[in-house]
Chains A and B, each alone.
Chain A
Amino acid sequence: MPAQASRRCISCLLALGGLCYFYSQSRWPCSGSLARQVQVSLQYETLLLSFNSSTHPIVESGPSVVFMTVTMMLVFGSAFFTDVIGVHAIFGSFFFDTPQSFAYHPNRSIRGWNHCPSGRRTSYQYHGKARGYGLDHLPATGELYFTFIH
C-alpha cells in the first residue's frame, strides 16, 4: 500500500507541475492569478534576450548554439510534461510559445537552411514575421535535420 500511495503522490505532483508548466508556456491566455504569475515569471522571451543581446544581436546573425540548445530543451521539456499529464507529447511542442520575432531562427536551423545564406529568406524579410513561407522544402516528418551551425 505505501508503494502505491507514494507512486500516486509522485504522479499527482508531476501532473500538477506539468500543468503549471504547460499553462505557463501555452499561447492561450490564462486568467488565474497564480498561473498568470507563473507565466510572467517564466517568460521565455526575456530569458532568451538575456542569452543573446549581450553577446551578439540575434536579428543580424543566426541563432547561437546556446539559444538553440535552450529552445530545444524547453520544447522537449514541454513535450515531456504534456506526455506525463496524459495528453500526447506532440501537444507540448505544438503549444510551446515562441515569440514571433524569434520564431524564424529555430525554424531555419532545425531544417538545416543555415547552409544556404540567401535562400528561403526573402518572404520573411518582406513580411516582417516568421510566417509566409510554406513547409514545402521539408523532406518528411522523421527527416528533420539538426544543425546547430550559424
Chain B
Amino acid sequence: MHSEPAITRTAQDSPTKSHRRGVGWDLTWCVKTLAMLDITNTAFLGPTAFGRIPGFTKHIFPEESRSYLSLVANIGLILFLFLVGLEIDSGVIKRNARLSATIALAGMILPFGIGAGVAHALYEKFIDPSIKFTYFMLFAGVAYSITAFPVLCRILTELKLLDTTVGIVVLSAGVGNDISKCILAHIFRLLMNLSTSWMDSTRFERGPR
C-alpha cells in the first residue's frame, strides 16, 4: 500500500464521522446516547458490513496504519479522561467509597460466574483440549466482567449524570472494576507465558538475544 499517510487518515476519518452523524440523526428516537451508536457504527466499519466492499479494508484501513490510528484514539481518550477527572470532586468519592466498592465487587463476581459457566459450555464444544480449562475459564470470566471505562464516562457525560452522586459512585466502581480487570488480564497472560515456557524448555533457554 503506497499512499500519503495524511490522505489515509482523512479517508479513515470521513466514513467514521459521516456515518455516525448520518445514522445518529435517524436513530436518536430509539438509541438515547451517541456512545452506543458509536459502538454499533464502528462494528459496521469492520468485516461485518463495510469490510465486504472489495478493497475497502485494504485501502481505507490498511494493516500498517492501524497502530497509528489507535495512537490517535489513545491521545483523544487520555485528554477526555483528564477532563472527566477534572470535573469530579474527590470528596464525593471518599464519602461513597464503601458503596462503590460493594457495587464494583458485585459487578465483578456475577459476570465472572456467568462467564465461567459460558466458558464450560464453549470449552466442551469448540476449544482445543491442549489449552487448559482453568486458563480458558479465567480468560472468559475476565472478558465477561469488563467494564469499558471510557464508554461509561461518555454515557455519564452525555446524560449529564457526572455531577450527581449516582454518577460518581458508578464511575468509581467502574474504575475499581477496570483496574482489577487489567491486573487479572496480566495474571492471565503471565500464566499462559509460564505454561508455554515450562512445556518446552528449549524455547525458554534460547530466548531473544
CB within 8 Å of B: which residues of A? 1, 3-4, 27, 75-76, 79, 86-98, 100, 103, 106-107, 110-111, 129-132, 134-136, 138, 140-144
What 7 A-B pairs come out closest when comparing CB atoms? A142-B76, A135-B157, A93-B82, A103-B86, A94-B81, A94-B85, A93-B78
Candidates B81, B89, B183; contact of A90 at CB < 8 Å: B81
B58 at the interface (CB under 8 A from A): no
Question: Contact check: which of A76, A93, A136 meets B85 at CB < 8 Å?
Answer: A93
Chain B binding surface SS class: helix
B95 to chain A, nearest CB (A): 14
Interface size on B, residues (CB 8 A): 39
The answer for the CA separation of A130 and B20 in the assembled complex, in Å, is 31
The answer to whether B208 and A79 touch across the interface, beta carbons within 8 angstroms, is: no
A33 to B85, CA, bound (A): 26
Whether the Cβ atoms of A3 and B208 lie closer than 8 Å is yes
From the candidates B82, B149, B150, name the one contacting A96 in the complex (CB within 8 A).
Answer: B82
Q: Which chain B residues border A79 with CB–CB below 8 Å?
A: 78
Q: Which residues of B contact A (CB under 8 A)?
A: 17, 20, 34, 72-74, 76-90, 93, 149-150, 154, 157-158, 160, 162-163, 175, 178-179, 182-183, 186, 207-209
**Complex Cα spacing A29 to B82, Å:** 19
Task: Please name the residue on chain B nearest to A111 by beta carbon.
Answer: B83
Q: Is the CB of B81 within 8 A of A93?
A: yes
A103 to B17, CA, bound (A): 30
Closest chain A residue, CB of each to CB of B93: A27
Q: How far is B86's CA from A101's CA once the two chains are assembled, in angstroms?
A: 10
A86-B186 in contact given A136-B160, A141-B77 (Cβ < 8 Å): yes
Chain B residues, Cβ within 8 Å of A93: 78-79, 81-82, 85
List of A residues within 8 angstroms of B163 by Cβ: 131-132, 134
Q: Quick check: B150 and A107 within 8 Å, CB to CB? A: no
- Cα-based distance from A88 to B78 in the complex (angstroms): 10
Assuming the contacts A1-B207, A90-B150, A94-B85, asked whether A75 and B78 have C-beta atoms less than 8 A apart, the reply is yes
Quote the shortest CB–CB distance from B128 to chain A (angstroms).
Answer: 28
CB of A78, distance to nearest CB on chain B (Å): 9
Partner of A75, one of B72, B82, B182: B82
Say whether A130 contacts B78, CB under 8 Å.
Answer: no
